[in-house]
Structure 1
Amino acid sequence: MTRGSTTIRRAKPTITDAEAIISVGRPVFEITFGHLTPPDELKSMLDGIYNVESVLTDLNDPFKVFFLALMNERVVAYSQLTIGGVSELSCLQNYKNYIKLGKIYVDVNHHGSGVSRTLMENTLNEAKRMGYANIYLTVYGENDRAKRFYEKFGFDKIGETQFTIGKRVVTDWVMLAPLQ
């Protein structure tokens, strides 16, 4: 899908796409969560999550679907849907037929460019096309910018969960939106 100067495509299980995801995900994670843990713990965590082998494993996982947003042929954002299974989150027990938006990360240099809106619209449309009625996500409870962004797409807070980053436990919001 192309909108304006943004092109959205499904990621492939290639080293090139894995490296592109790492180039966006690692710095966004570091900016968002870096203040919560000592630098050595953060580096160790990032090295475990954002390495080519780990990302390739995710790209080959049939229950994960990644989308890349490109501007001028450069990946500047990505999203990830997690398919299937039943969440252990008690706040989802009254909802059926849902999919998880695992990630939507946008290079900070492209905030406000419209790429996040285009990527989110594409990701939600894909979830609908797959036949899901609802989509949920978890977001760091202190990330007000992200929460406002999700609310623009119809997500509402339905609960909270705990997330461990390094040795620190933080609160995430659980947000859900109907796919209409």
Structure 2
Amino acid sequence: MNPATSLQIRRGSVADAETLSRCMADWFLAAYAHASDAANTAAFVRSNFDPQKQARELADPQIVTLIAQDGADWAGYAQLRLATPPPACVTGPDAAELGRFYFAPAQHGRGGAGQMMQSIRAEARARGRRWLWLLVWQEQPQAIRFYEKQGFEKVGTAIFMVGEDRKHDFVMCGAV
């Protein structure tokens, strides 16, 4: 049996803000704490992953947050952002941003991310979207390989700020 088959994927609600905020910070730090100095990383975490901001995002009808759980344990989350304008290099019509896509380190390689991608695509299709676009750090080969396996292609580059630290990202795009 595939270990990921026990994952339940559900829509997030405002009641999830505290736990989501904590998981966001933990999983971002697990993936990227080494990539910027402590001050820039702390500034990014503070400005992006506080519970009040997550409550606002969870209440926003233009943001769909999906949460993957393995029993009571949170395994991963993803955010579909419907109102974010795509960069010029995204030429597919009716595009939505896959703004965040993270799994707990213990869940990597277990198939849950593929399940989550199917769920995000279904959410995008239900809202009339035909394309997804995302940013991925150019120095994150594991994530790039995953997105390529999921049918995404590099279509451009962008700068992503971690505090005051400029990171070079790829813009990737794929059909829903």
- TM-score normalised by the chain length of structure 2: 0.91
Query: Post-superposition shift, 1:76?
Result: 1.4
Query: Post-superposition shift, 1:117?
Result: 1.3
**Residues 90-149 of structure 1 deviation map (CA, whole Å, 9 limit, x = unaligned):** 202x32111110111100011112211111111112111222111111111111000111
| Residues 43 and 163 in structure 2, CA contact (< 8 A), matched pair in contact too | no
**Residues 8-31 of structure 1 deviation map (CA, whole Å, 9 limit, x = unaligned):** 1000111xx112212321122112
Equivalent in 90, 94, 97 of residue 97 of structure 1: 94
Query: Post-superposition shift, 1:85?
Result: 5.0
Counterparts of 2:110 and 2:22, CA distance in 1: 18
Question: Which 4+ runs in 1 deviate beyond 6 A?
Answer: none
Residue 71 of structure 1 aligns with which residue? 70
Q: Note if 1:13 corresponds to 2:14.
A: yes
The total of aligned residue pairs comes to 173
Deviates more, 1:37-46 or 1:25-34: 37-46
CA RMSD of aligned residues (A): 1.5
Residue 163 of structure 1 aligns with which residue? 160
**Residues 54-104 of structure 1 deviation map (CA, whole Å, 9 limit, x = unaligned):** 1101111121110000101222100000013532x1202x32111110111
| Residues 13 and 60 in structure 1, CA contact (< 8 A), matched pair in contact too | yes
Q: Note if 1:107 corresponds to 2:116.
A: no
Q: Percent identity?
A: 27
Counterparts of 1:69 and 1:77, CA distance in 2: 5
- TM-score normalised by the chain length of structure 1: 0.89
Question: Residues 176, 53 of structure 1: CA spacing in aligned structure 2 closer, same or farther, 3 A cutoff?
Answer: same
Counterparts of 2:19 and 2:69, CA distance in 1: 10
Counterparts of 1:135 and 1:41, CA distance in 2: 28
Q: Which amino acid aligns with 1:121?
A: Q
Question: Residues 106, 85 of structure 1: CA spacing in aligned structure 2 closer, same or farther, 3 A cutoff?
Answer: closer
Residue 80 of structure 1 aligns with which residue? 79
Structure 2 unaligned residues grouped into runs of 5+:
none
| Pairs within 5 Å for 1:33-52 | 33-52=32-51
Partner SS for 2:139: coil
Residue 144 of structure 1 aligns with which residue? 141
Residue 134 of structure 1 aligns with which residue? 131
Q: Which amino acid aligns with 1:73?
A: A
Query: Post-superposition shift, 1:32?
Result: 2.4
Structure 1 unaligned residues grouped into runs of 5+:
none
Partner SS for 2:96: strand
Counterparts of 1:6 and 1:28, CA distance in 2: 18
Counterparts of 1:33 and 1:112, CA distance in 2: 18
